[in-house]
Amino acid sequence: MESHELLRDVFQKISPKQAAAELGLSLSMVYKWAEPPDQRSGAANPLDRVAVLMQCSEDAQIAQWICQKAGGFFIKNPRLDSAHPLHLVPAMNTVVQEFADLLSVMAAAAHDSEITKAEAKSIRARWEELKSVTEEFVCCCEEGNFREIKKGEIPRK
């Protein structure tokens, strides 16, 4: 789906007039966002701008922030471009090891019945890594493709 198509769908749920008022923009500007790029006159819509910012910065934190604002989280899709299939069990072991690592960080943080901000940050980092590794494993399962899994390890991004 193109960004202007998504915005057109959004404007079925919230009126462009209301969006313009909330954003402090002109109604004509908001309407232009829902036009195809070849018909648009003026600035690119905010979705296209965010996409360009993520691409030029090569920083997934932007997507993660947006996902958190929406009540979710961002998990990068795996790259499945290697040539030789490998076995399923080593890949499963990687996911189990990541989970064990998370539990270890949680246990170490909770040993004194208090979790500091630094410990919470460490737990969050391990949790994000576990989600990413598990998502990559699930995508490999769905694709029937374990070519990217090397030596029993799912590649980390």
Per-residue pLDDT tens digits for 76-118: 765 555 433 455 677 778 888 888 988 998 999 998 998 999 9
User: Could you tell me if 99 and 154 lie in one domain?
Assistant: yes
- Tell me: pLDDT of 128 over 80: yes
| Residue 37: count of CB within 10 angstroms of its CB | 11
Q: Which residue range is the domain that position 110 belongs to?
A: 76-157
* Whether pLDDT at 26 is above 70: yes
Q: Indicate whether this model's pTM tops 0.75.
A: no
Task: Say whether both 98 and 136 belong to one domain.
Answer: yes
Contacts of 73 (CB under 8 A, 6+ apart): 64, 67, 128, 131
The pLDDT score that the predictor gives to residue 129 is 83
63 vs 134, residue with greater confidence: 63
